[in-house]
Amino acid sequence: MVSTMRHLMEDIIAQEEQKRRSELEVLQSQINPHFLYNTLDSVIWMTEAGRQEEAIQMVTSLARLFRISLSRGSSVIPLADELEHARHYMTIQKIRYKNRFTFDVQAGPEVEGLYTLKLIVQPLLENAIYHGLSAVEDDGHIRVTARRMDDRLVIDVEDDGMGMPPEVAAQLLEDYRPAVKTSGSGIGIRNVHRRIQLTFGKEYGLQVESEPDEGTRVRIILPVLDEGAAEPYRKEIKS
């Protein structure tokens, strides 16, 4: 009887672990091809308009963006790759939006060599563009800042767009609300929040701060993972 109960408990644990992995795969698969279609469409009209240099720049950034997205099947990648992915994405969007906004990335030396769950910055950038800056008449600015705070890796994505009431921002991550989506990837803010928590635990995830006409800051909170500490997560997600 003891042996049977032990096997049953092991089966339950294995089933729960498989359920968690399956949910992670579903959340990751919600990236849809709209961004790719829109980018290639932009390349076509730029080429037809004689804007070959911009078309080449966009295709080059797109190729590098997808190279990082694949990451040899790993869902946990170096932070440097995640930030490079963000830069290539913003290069494409700046061309598409005719430089209506500026963008910069600041990463302290203390975070070089750390690892992160991949594809968590880009959806927040998309949200900043489509919901924060698209309705603003003046040119906007988006900043990504990565730094270490004690035993946490913190990545802030900030825009100076239209913002929202604090009570609305506070509800964006609640389970009963529909995920806030962008027209670019289809991944919502809450989707990113859930992926982080499924991978690393409930003490990690996103925080959203915003004020009307002041802009929005979405903070990503992750564990500090060097290459050695990241390896179990990489193996686990691949398996």
Can you list the pairs that 173-182 forms with residues at least 24 positions away whose Cβ atoms lie under 8 Å?
Answer: 173/205, 173/206, 173/208, 180/127, 180/131, 182/123, 182/126, 182/127, 182/129, 182/130, 182/131
Q: Which residue has the higher pLDDT, 90 or 65?
A: 90
The pLDDT of residue 187 = 53
Both tokens of 73, joined, read: 């099947």
> Is 199 a residue whose pLDDT tops 80?
yes
- The domain limits of the chain are 31-238
∠ Cα 15 17 22 (to 5°) = 90
Confidence of residue 183 (pLDDT cuts 50, 70, 90): very low
Could you read off the pLDDT of 83-110 as tens digits, one per residue?
Answer: 999 999 999 988 888 878 889 999 988 8
Q: Which CATH superfamily is domain 31-238 in?
A: Histidine kinase-like ATPase, C-terminal domain (3.30.565.10)
> Is 143 a residue whose pLDDT tops 90?
yes
The pLDDT of residue 185 = 43
**Which is it for strands 140-149 and 101-107: parallel, antiparallel or unpaired?**
parallel
Q: Which residue has the higher pLDDT, 163 or 220?
A: 220
The pLDDT of residue 184 = 43
The pLDDT of residue 18 = 55
